[in-house]
Amino acid sequence: MVEFAMYHAWLVPLLPALAFLAIVFLTRPWPMLSALVAVAGIVGAFVVSAFAAYGVFTNPEFTEKPLVYAVRWFSMPGMQIDVGVQLDPVSAMMIFMVSMVASLIFIYAIGYMKGDPGFSVFFSYVSLFAASMLLLAISSNLLEMFVAWELVGLCSYLLIGFYSHKISAREAAKKAFITCRIADFGLLLGLLSLQIIFGTLNLVELSEKIAHFEQYTTFGVLTLIAVLVFIGPIGKSGQFPLHVWLPDAMEGPTPVSALIHAATMVVAGVYLVARTMFLFHEVPGAMELVAITGGFTALFAATIAVTQREIKRILAYSTVSQIGYMMLALGVGSMTASLFHMWTHAFFKALMFLGAGSVLHALHHKADVWEMGGLIKKMPITGWTFVIGGLAIAGIPPFAGFWSKDEILAVTLDSGHYVLFVMAAFTAFLTAFYMWRLIFLTFFGEENPENHPHESPPVMTLPLIGLAILSAVGGLVGTPWAPLWSEWIFYGHPHHAEPNYWVMIGSIVLAAAGIYLAYQLYCADKTKARAKALAERYNHIYTILYNKYYIDEIYLWFNHTIIDGAARLFYLFDIYVVDGIIVNGLGALTCLFGEGLRVSNTGRLQNYALVFFLGVLAVVVLLAFTGPSSASLTVGGVK
Amino acid sequence: MDGFPVLLTILLAPVVAAVIMAFIPREEHMLIKCIAATGTFISMALSLYVYFAYDQSLGGLQFVQQIPWIKDLGVTFFLGVDGISLPMLLLTNLIGFSAVFASWNVNHRPRDFFILLCLLIAGVMGTFVAQDLFIFLLFYEVVVIPIYILVIIWGSTKRVTKEYAGMKLTIYLLIGSAFLLVGVIALFMKTAAISGVPDMSFTGLARAAQGLSDFDQKWLFALMLFGFGSLLSMWPFHSWSPDGYAGAPTAVSMIHAGVLKKIGGYGLIRIALYVLPVGAKFWAPVIAVLGVCGVAYAAMAALAQKDLKYIVGYSSVSHMGYVLLAVASLNVIGLNGAVANMFAHGIMAALFFSTIGFIYEKTHTRWIPDLGGLARQAPRLAVAFMLAAMASLGLPGLVSFIPEFTIFVASFKVYGGLAVVAIAGIIITALYALRAGANTLFGPPRPEYDSLRDIRGPELVPLAVLGTVLVVGGILPFLLFDMVNSGIVPLMAEISGALQLGGSF
Amino acid sequence: MVTTISLTHYMVLSALLFGIGLFGVLAKRNAIAVLICIELMLNAVNINLVAISKYITPTLFTGQLFAIFVITVAAAEVGVGLAIIIAIYRNRVSVNLDDFDWLKW
Amino acid sequence: MEGIWMTVAFYLLAATILGSALLVVMLRNIVHSVLWLAVCFVAMAGLFLTLDADFLAAVQVLVYAGAVCIMVVFGIMLIQRGDMGSTNLFNSQTKAAAGVVALVLVVCGYLSATTQWVGTAVAVPEQTVENIADILLSKYVIPFEVAALLLLVALVGAIFLAKEVKADGHND
């Protein structure tokens, strides 16, 4: 079975894809059947990927040399693109994680989406998404990966716009797609450069060729390529300055937010950089860019999250911030730490989104955390699992987030990026603060009498419990004392830093401080007067943060004024210059000639006959004087 | 099927259908439509057969049919297909068949409409299977007349009147072909003088044209570039495209944007480049610049449109810019991309126009601000629209992505920065395609369209046929590329010598 | 020269008659007048044919034969021409060619 | 008819022909024009006699002077009723027409004067009718039949064209 799974890993994306087709063409009229098909597809994928992952992790040779099998996709002289599967610990971990989280979320969605008119459609979309995401994870070729990359973007678009009759959802979907498209433009240029310079987009071949690439002859080209490639992840993973779409993406149904915009798709950028580490590793400049982008985004998004009011928005900014962490870790050279955080983050962030979904479900989509409160009494499972998630993200041991975040902080410090370390540490504090602000406001404190919450059905709470368990213990695979994780997932050589107890203690203290501050402001103080006073006092900062640094407004202005203005200009140019002056001008000129000649068109037969005879005369004269027989005008002669 | 004149059958099936329709009482609407559908279906099925029966390992011209015609001019009625013309032939028939169903609801003089439509389809097919320049031009002219009549009778008047649109379309076609004709005649005279034997076949012309002076090659190519370029809506000779499509009835827009336009690109590769490689080499930078201008300019102009057909009209100008850019790169990858992109764009544009046609038929408007929320009332229509929009913006997994990718590879390699501008076009394309989709299909449903009937029955055929090709072509790109490649490689092999020597610019 | 009548005499006569007929065709208003002027022109042609027949190919009779054919055609032409004029007159109540400028449309 | 008499006959006939033709064109009354046309045709028949074409002369009288003129008169009667005084006027391009005609005459005159005719002394055979009949029914039999057909078509066409049209637009 293990053997089979490893050599048929293409089944992993194929099963959900088949589920998608089955739903679209067959089972769409029967919602429950569609859901079953979708769940069957993803669970099947999970089973195959679990076996495949088991096979990879028990065969150490695959960490050195990945298992690759591929078929030709298309080719022409000078270019061949294969599609195939590349199984190594990184991809095995990824498909395992994605299919596991997706399975849980699919099950959850059965409960959450119940009664929605687009129930079947929803499951077809998420199946397509799962297929694309899994394809992205096991791709052996960058173009294949790009295809999957765009397809997950498409699914994201479709699912954000799932409630497409809402204008906000429609606009958010569009925004997501186009923002990612801008980023993909960079990525595409990077891929093109790779294809042109190295003649292949195959990951294994590329890594060999880049390792032997003569940097001296084309100085800076690799850096440029790496930067271009990195633009893609900036968009897809919601890094500054292209993060704007991610918070808006919360317009989609909550399981989608959990699956796509927290656990899987948005970390595709991290995954891509990890996948092309052989490229980034060669160019320190690009690595610095990755680190700085990540570190800055982490802090930047955390500051915004502090002031937001909508539950899913807070989580969205939190996601942006956490992905910043992952980027930071990649940038300072630790793929191990980065992917470890991605692993743990998938669990606790999915958990929290699903928890938020449960809350919204109970409160009939009332999203403002200030209008909630005391929900834990009515919704104990949702509440306590959420608390576990909160502990995990804040970094309280032994929950998952602690181990991964701690490792990121440690490697950042190790690599000598002190400024980034301080930023990351401060982010850790902010994270604990805003997340617990959310928890205290939502689940603790006084109940809002207008709300009539009720616990969600088991089909929703069971995945919550599953994810809560994973959030609690998922980090134990990578503790400094038993570094299983870093033996598998690494770039270059496995390295496990000695446990840095100072960092560890420091991060616990920061997390605890954040939680305590949140408790003081939002839980201990029933009237929340101090929190309000604080916001009042630093009104300017509060307003800027609340409005997300006005970046959306700037983009909107740019889009509507500059782009649309230019478009208008081009169009007017087309109508009035190209079409007006040149094309119709020529036409008008012709008509003018026609008008001139029209006088001659009297319509009177005798006029025409007159001119006709003039013509006949001309022909006669011509023939008589220049014709072939003009030399001797002698006619006649009998026989 | 050895010896069975399959190409001739493909060519004649719609003509026969047209003749039969001419003898049917004009009131028999359903019968007429069925005959048109049968005729085009026979062509489509046979061209699918030819596509898969074509031996790619053998390459070259296959299914050849050669009947001497005008000996003094060296004209033979010479039909044949190779890797370049086969995708175009298949495209024509796929779109032709869909176009019949996209016009299923034409009830104003349907007999005349379908007769002209079938003749149009046959004419377009003829240009792609002709291997003789004279026959090529003959079919090309056959195409012009039905287009004009179809537009002025069954067209629609919006920003411009249908008469204006038809006139503009026809006159542009004719001006282009006039320049082409001058070039062709000059080419024929000169090559006949060189080889001593008049020969109008592409191969014969190409062989003789090797003896042309560099100067002759250059100005002849310039004439052909103008002729084919204006047919391909090369910037700045593009302005017929949006107006023409806007005025034309659905089927004509489909065929025109889908395949007729491609005659320009096909001719540019098949005739201009093949016969006059030195001229091509000389003009390549100009083509590239015009192509990039077209891409960026038309995409920006499309962004400012509010009429759906105008958006697609400008979009097709923009996509043809990619084809030009690919041709200008003058290498195997680029030409592969050019032909494949023509195929992809044909399918996509046809689906787009058929969808817009249905939207217009059902809502009586194409004006985006008057539309909205149709996805609720007509989900299948929305699927078709989104498929086309996604293909337009080059979504991977749909047929247009890989061709664009190959074009980008080829042109980025040759033209660097210039190509980047063109590649940036994908962002703007995404912007306008999604805006159009969002504002038409999504948002709050409008009560006035509550009774709107989704596409069903025969109306689904364009979506089924073209949608299938869109997806299958995207998932299995080798189906298209192996074919194109088998045609491009020998072509490039023949002219590569000239391309290297003639670099006198 | 004065006493013998040569072919040139007939030629000149024919040319003059043709000129008169042509002038009538070009300058008359009445459609019937135009028609009879055409007859004059045809007659001028006949003179030429017969004269050439006599002076150059007297034994072949081709010229005379042609003249007969011309007369035949002229007769047919008059018949159809008159019919057309009558038909037009019925529609327009006019045979004035100045009124007929429909060729413009 | 030899010598001087030939010359006299030619000049007389020529004068008659040209004079009557001029009157045909110049007269303001269309009926008078037709009468002078008949005179012209008869004189033409005479001219044909001087050219040894006696059969043709007979045909000329029969067809032209007889049939055509009568037909034209009938045509006029069907159309022109009432005052015939100024039924045959000149139009506005008379001067231009005169110019063109002058040019035609100049060219024709020049060509007639400069062309060297290679004449022959052979006389026209006496039996013109037999000769004409011979070639008409042998060498030129196809044009002959075509001419017959033409006459038939002209006949039918003329009838169809000139037929009365009913008020409802159908001609039956």
B481-497 pLDDT, tens digit each: 999 999 888 888 888 87
Query: Helices B401-415 and A167-198 sit at what angle, rounded to 10 degrees?
Result: 50
Beta-strand ranges (E) seen in A498-639 are 634-636
3-state secondary structure A39-104: HHHHHHHHHHHHHHHHHHHHCCHHHHCCEEEEEEEEEECCEEEEEEEEECHHHHHHHHHHHHHHHH
Q: Which of A603, A606, A610 sits opposite C104 (nearest CB)?
A: A603
Q: To which H or E segment does residue B440 belong?
A: helix B417-441
Residues of D in contact with C50 (CB under 8 A): 48, 51, 53, 56
Asked whether residue C2 is assigned to any structural domain, the reply reads no
Which DSSP symbol is given to B187? H
Q: Which of A236, A240, A345 is nearest to A300 (CA)?
A: A240
Q: Which of A165, A178, A181 sits opposite B444 (nearest CB)?
A: A165
Touching chains A and D? (3+ Cβ pairs < 8 A): yes
Mean pLDDT of the D98-117 span: 86
Q: List the alpha helices (DSSP H) in B103-154.
A: 110-129, 133-154
Give this prediction's pTM.
0.81
pLDDT reading at B505 higher than 80: no
Q: What is the pLDDT of residue B503?
A: 41
Q: How open is the CA angle B491-B492-B494, to the nearest 5 degrees?
A: 70
Residues of A in contact with B441 (CB under 8 A): 164
Supply B205's token pair.
């012309």
Asked whether residue C1 is assigned to any structural domain, the reply reads no
What is the C-alpha end-to-end distance of chain D, expressed in Å?
56
Domain layout of chain D by residue ranges? 1-87, 125-172
Most C CBs within 10 A among D2, D25, D77, hence the mutation to make, goes to D25
Q: Which of A606, A617, A624 sits opposite D93 (nearest CB)?
A: A606
Q: Which of D91, D115, D120 sits opposite A638 (nearest CB)?
A: D120
Which residues of B, range 281-310, sit inside 8 Å of A by Cβ?
Answer: 297, 300-305
Q: Which of B238, B376, B390 sits opposite A154 (nearest CB)?
A: B390
Residues of A in contact with D103 (CB under 8 A): 614, 617
Which DSSP symbol is given to A629? T
Q: Which residue has the higher pLDDT, B505 or D141?
A: D141
Instruction: Please confirm whether the linkage preceding A449 is cis (ω < 30° from 0).
Output: no
Give A628's pLDDT tier (boundaries 50, 70, 90): low
**Residue A609 near residue C25 (C-beta atoms within 8 A):** yes
Chain A interface includes B478 (CB < 8 A): yes
C49-96 pLDDT, tens digit each: 999 888 888 888 888 889 999 999 998 999 899 888 888 888 877 778
pLDDT reading at A101 higher than 70: yes
Supply A214's token pair.
């003569």
A6-26 pLDDT, tens digit each: 888 888 889 999 999 999 888
Name the phi and psi angles at B125, rounded to 5: -60, -40
Asked whether residue C104 is assigned to any structural domain, the reply reads no
Torsion, Cα of C87, C91, C97, C102 (10° steps): -110
Report CB contact under 8 Å: D119, C55. Answer: yes
Most A CBs within 10 A among C59, C95, C101, hence the mutation to make, goes to C101
pLDDT reading at A372 higher than 80: no
Closest residue in chain A to residue D122, using alpha carbons only: A638
Asked whether residue C80 is assigned to any structural domain, the reply reads yes
- Mean pLDDT, chain D, rounded, equals 84
ipTM of the complex: 0.73
Report CB contact under 8 Å: A164, B441. Answer: yes
Touching chains B and D? (3+ Cβ pairs < 8 A): no
Mean pLDDT of the A294-323 span: 88
Residues of C in contact with D140 (CB under 8 A): 65
Name the phi and psi angles at A604, rounded to 5: -100, 130
Touching chains C and B? (3+ Cβ pairs < 8 A): no
Report CB contact under 8 Å: A181, B393. Answer: yes
Closest residue in chain A to residue C103, using alpha carbons only: A603
**Residue B83 near residue B63 (C-beta atoms within 8 A):** no
Report CB contact under 8 Å: D88, C54. Answer: no
Residues of C in contact with D3 (CB under 8 A): 3
What is the least distance, in Å, from the CA of C19 to any CA of chain D? Answer: 5
**Residue A56 near residue A99 (C-beta atoms within 8 A):** no
Q: Which of C9, B238, B289, B18 is nearest to D7 (CA)?
A: C9
Chains that touch C (3 or more CB pairs under 8 A): A, D
Q: Which of A414-423, A576-585, B236-245 has the lowest mean pLDDT?
A: A576-585
What is the domain extent for residue C32?
A: 7-99
Torsion, Cα of B249, B255, B258, B259 (10° steps): -150
A263-297 pLDDT, tens digit each: 888 888 889 988 888 888 888 888 888 899 999 99
Asked whether residue C37 is assigned to any structural domain, the reply reads yes
Other CB atoms within 10 Å distance of the CB of residue A573: 15
Q: What is the pLDDT of residue D166?
A: 60
**Residue B287 near residue B324 (C-beta atoms within 8 A):** yes
Residues of A in contact with B243 (CB under 8 A): 579
Asked whether residue C105 is assigned to any structural domain, the reply reads no
Chain D interface includes A620 (CB < 8 A): yes
Best mean pLDDT range from A68-77, A449-458, A531-540, D9-18: D9-18
Q: State how far the alpha carbon of A191 is from the alpha carbons of A146, A185, A217, B327, B390, in Å.
A: 9, 10, 20, 21, 21
The CATH code of domain D1-87 reads 1.20.120.1200
Give B175's pLDDT tier (boundaries 50, 70, 90): confident
Torsion, Cα of D112, D117, D123, D128 (10° steps): -60
The residues that bridge with C30 in the sheet, in sequence order, are C96
What is the least distance, in Å, from the CA of D124 to any CA of chain C? Answer: 5
pLDDT reading at D81 higher than 50: yes
Give C104's pLDDT tier (boundaries 50, 70, 90): low
Contacts of A538 (CB under 8 A, 6+ apart): none
Q: What is the pLDDT of residue A497?
A: 61
What is the least distance, in Å, from the CA of D62 to any CA of chain A? Answer: 30
Q: Which of C22, C56, C98 sits opposite A604 (nearest CB)?
A: C98
Chain C interface includes A612 (CB < 8 A): no
B26-69 pLDDT, tens digit each: 888 889 999 999 999 999 999 999 999 888 888 888 888 888 88
Residues of D in contact with C97 (CB under 8 A): 91
Q: Please state, in angstroms and rounded to a whole number, the distance separating the CA atoms of residues A119 and D47.
A: 107
A22-59 pLDDT, tens digit each: 998 888 888 888 889 999 999 999 999 899 888 888 88
Interior/surface letters D38-74, b for 16+ CB within 10 angstroms, e for the rest: bbbbbbbbbbbbbbbbebbbebbbebbbeebbebbbe
> How many independent structural domains does chain C possess?
1
Chain D interface includes A600 (CB < 8 A): no
Residue C90's CATH number? 1.10.287.3510
Supply A142's token pair.
């960058």
Asked whether residue C67 is assigned to any structural domain, the reply reads yes
Closest residue in chain C to residue A611, using alpha carbons only: C26
Is C9 buried (19+), middle (13-18) or exposed (0-12) by CB count in 10 A? Answer: middle
3-class DSSP state of B198: coil
Q: Which of B124, B42, B58 is nearest to B89 (CA)?
A: B124
Q: Which of A606, A620, A633 sits opposite D91 (nearest CB)?
A: A606
Residues of A in contact with B407 (CB under 8 A): none
- The DSSP line for A167-184 is HHHHHHHHHHHHHHHHHH
Most C CBs within 10 A among A606, A611, A620, A634, hence the mutation to make, goes to A606
Chain C interface includes A608 (CB < 8 A): yes
Q: Which residue has the higher pLDDT, A91 or A5?
A: A91
Residues of C in contact with A634 (CB under 8 A): none
Chain D interface includes C54 (CB < 8 A): yes
Give D46's pLDDT tier (boundaries 50, 70, 90): very high
Interface A–B counts its CB contacts (< 8 A) at 143
Q: To which H or E segment does residue B78 belong?
A: strand B75-81
Q: Please state, in angstroms and rounded to a whole number, the distance separating the CA atoms of residues A50 and A335.
A: 22
Mean pLDDT of the B64-85 span: 86
What is the least distance, in Å, from the CA of A606 to any CA of chain D? Answer: 9
Q: List the alpha helices (DSSP H) in A372-489.
A: 375-378, 380-394, 400-414, 418-443, 458-473, 484-488
Asked whether residue C55 is assigned to any structural domain, the reply reads yes
Residues of D in contact with A621 (CB under 8 A): 107
Q: Which of C26, C34, C102 sits opposite A603 (nearest CB)?
A: C102
Torsion, Cα of B219, B225, B228, B234 (10° steps): -150
Positive or negative, the CA dihedral A248, A252, A254, A257 is: negative
